[in-house]
Structure 1
């Protein structure tokens, strides 16, 4: 694992340097996921609108590490200056609010399109709320989550 940590850190550092930034990425592992955290002074340009730049960086880094990632069967998440953590926390709060609306009204709520990382957070937070369930619909960049009243179990 130490060898993979070193490879991920060096590739991430090289990628950030190619874009013109200097950073010392921090690499951690949790639940078969490699997390790469990068702190920089002006993160906005790298993060991009709605995190699109960050998603692109993650895709490029994943491609750069392709073989190593496949052999270890690990997923990769890159975060810049805590953007993803903040986004996931606000997404969880939003999902809880929508779940309570569904419980109150009985009407399903379709959330806006979001990244797989955010959709996973929604599924996980709603799974802990009684009387509601989630379903992903759509494809590609338009994939989103629907929070709906829990289906009655057949007796």
Structure 2
């Protein structure tokens, strides 16, 4: 069975907080190794919320700003996928870990909010629906949440890298 994010039910089994903390620790070790190789300074923060492990790489106080090199949304997405694979290889379980680098997730949420606002403007101009570009399952979830907050209906369509969200009035 496939859910709205395109994952199988088996992959979506709820992990315990202990398992999520273990994922965070494995991810932190993996990311520390990558940062060392790239000679980039950063502090790691781990958290567990809403059934996911969250790992943040933040600028450390003595840093030269090189962490900004990794905060591009496409780079963060690629690093997140690599980190998830590293975690999965160690645990044998699918990981839904979320990675944030230098506040990139907040920046991306703000970009998605602006994207939804532009979609609302199209609806206000008479469009029956507004399609957004393809994005990751996490980004689509954020869009669904933003749309719901604004009283709109949103659905995801397509498969794989072409999966995108369509917004319409309720």
Cα distance, 1:44 vs. partner?
4.2
2:33 is the alignment partner of 1:14: yes
Q: Give structure 1 stretches of 5+ with no counterpart.
A: 151-155
TM-score after normalising by structure 2: 0.72
Q: Would you say how many aligned residue pairs link Structure 1 and Structure 2? A: 145
TM-score after normalising by structure 1: 0.77
Asked if structure 1 preserves the Cα contact closer than 8 Å seen for 2:123 and 2:129, the reply is: yes
Report the secondary structure of 2:168's partner residue.
Answer: strand
Structure 2 CA distance for aligned equivalents of residues 90 and 46 of structure 1? 18
Report the secondary structure of 1:105's partner residue.
Answer: coil
Cα distance, 1:17 vs. partner?
1.9
Q: Give structure 2 stretches of 5+ with no counterpart.
A: 1-17, 60-64
Asked if structure 1 preserves the Cα contact closer than 8 Å seen for 2:21 and 2:48, the reply is: no
Structure 2 CA distance for aligned equivalents of residues 69 and 28 of structure 1? 21
The one of 65, 70, 84 aligned to 1:46 = 70
Asked if structure 2 preserves the Cα contact closer than 8 Å seen for 1:62 and 1:69, the reply is: no
Give the CA RMSD over aligned residues: 2.5
**Do the aligned partners of residues 3 and 87 (structure 1) sit closer, same or farther apart at CA in structure 2, a change above 3 Å counting?**
closer
Asked if structure 1 preserves the Cα contact closer than 8 Å seen for 2:30 and 2:83, the reply is: yes
Cα distance, 1:3 vs. partner?
5.9
1:6-31 superposed Cα distances (whole Å, 9 cap, x missing partner): 33322221122233323221111110
